[in-house]
Structure 1
Amino acid sequence: MTTTTQTSPDTRWLNDRQQVLWRSFLGGSTVFFDQLDRDLRREHDLSMAEYEILVRLSEAPDWTLRMAEVADQVAHSRSRVTHTVARLERAGLVKRASCLSDGRGVNAQLTPEGMARLEEAAHTHVGGVRRYLMDNTSDEEFEILGQVFERIRLDLGGQGF
């Protein structure tokens, strides 16, 4: 199979070292997030996406957010959040209701059962973050990593996490 690549004189290609580091980043971040997801699914029957939604709801006043806010906070499409919240609702972890201040909006609210599941899952999640990431970086490296990704988030218009 022959592939044709269009070139542009404006393309700033990666040098050999940058290419190696880029691929390390891709591979490392993929296996890291996949492992966090596997741990949550195995121990608590939650995906990473579901866990993140439960976290955002737990941090909101009255454990309630508009669905659009949930989508913004977890940086997922509204459609993906709708499907994920529907799964959480079927499991009794979240309930949805019309927004009282705006009849067009829908709120998602964490249930007491959802909070209990989140509290259990948080130990697994934080343990994984510590074991897979923190134990593999120095404080200085982690500080730099955080600064770099904060700049990227701001540059790309990411919402407050």
Structure 2
Amino acid sequence: MAETRWLDEHEMAAWQGFLEATSRVSRHLEQQLKDDAGLSHPQYEILVRLAAAPDGEVRMTELAEGLFTSKSGLTYQVGQLEKRGLVTRRSCPTDVRGVLAVLTPTGRRTLREAAPGHVAAVRASLIDVLDEEELTVLARALGRVGSRLRPDGAAGPVGPPAP
């Protein structure tokens, strides 16, 4: 068995910083969305993905993959959005087994109203805290981490190209 490579002080500082920052930013954004729009962060992201899709609809399986969640977790969140009239579900016309999540006009309006406050919170908690160089390094580094851990090996956003 290989010898354990313990984290040195520098590596531990990076790890602890990552844990604290991701936890605090996530909690801050979750609370902001709950207070301002009555949405959870996953619900907001579902609305964003649907709004960006052609005709405001996406297959549930594709939505789950794009949101890094389980199909059952997505089903629950879409169900909550459906109860509020923000999303509907319908059968996929090209695949009898497929189900589409569809953004409603009320869902689009809710997203439009929630977006400015959410973007302000993202800026205040992360983007505006960092300078341009730090943002470039962060995007590239976290993109590389995501790519390495992506189960299907599919390419994803990895940040801006190297200068």
**Structures share fold, TM-score greater than 0.5:** yes
Structure 1 runs (4+) deviating above 3 angstroms are 158-161
| 2:53 counterpart of 1:83 | no
Larger C-alpha radius of gyration, 1 or 2?
1
Q: What is the SS of the residue equivalent to 2:62? A: helix
Runs of 5+ unmatched residues, structure 1:
1-7
Letter in 1 for 2:141: V
Residue 9 of structure 1 deviates from its aligned partner by 3.2
Equivalent residue in structure 1 for 2:112, among 96, 108, 119: 119
Q: For structure 2, list consecutive stretches of 5 or more residues without a partner in the other structure.
A: 158-163
**Equivalent AA in structure 2 for residue 96 of structure 1:** R
Give the % identical residues: 40
Aligned residue among 30, 47, 71 for 2:64: 71
Question: Does 2:22 align with 1:29?
Answer: yes
Q: What RMSD, in angstroms, separates the aligned Cα atoms of the two structures?
A: 1.3
CA distance in 2, matches of 1:134, 1:120: 21
Give the alignment partner of residue 85 of structure 2, picking from 72, 88, 92.
92
Q: Return the letter of the residue paired with 1:62.
A: D
Select which of 124, 137, 153 maps to 1:131: 124
Whole-angstrom CA distance in 2 between matches of 1:58 and 1:130: 21
Could you tell me how far 1:139 is from its partner in structure 2? Answer: 0.5
TM-score by length of structure 2 reads 0.90
Q: Which has the higher contact order (CA 8 A, sep 6+)?
A: 1
Give the paired residue count: 154
- When structure 1 is superposed on structure 2, of 143-152 and 15-24 the one drifting more is 15-24
TM-score, normalised to structure 1's length?
Answer: 0.91
Q: Aligned with 2:90: secondary structure? A: strand
Deviations, residues 60-115 of structure 1 (Å, cap 9, x unaligned):
11000000010011010000000000000000000001111001111000000000
How far apart are the structure 1 equivalents of 2:4 and 2:117? 43
Equivalent in the alignment of 1:51: 44
User: Residue 110 of structure 1 aligns with which residue?
Assistant: 103
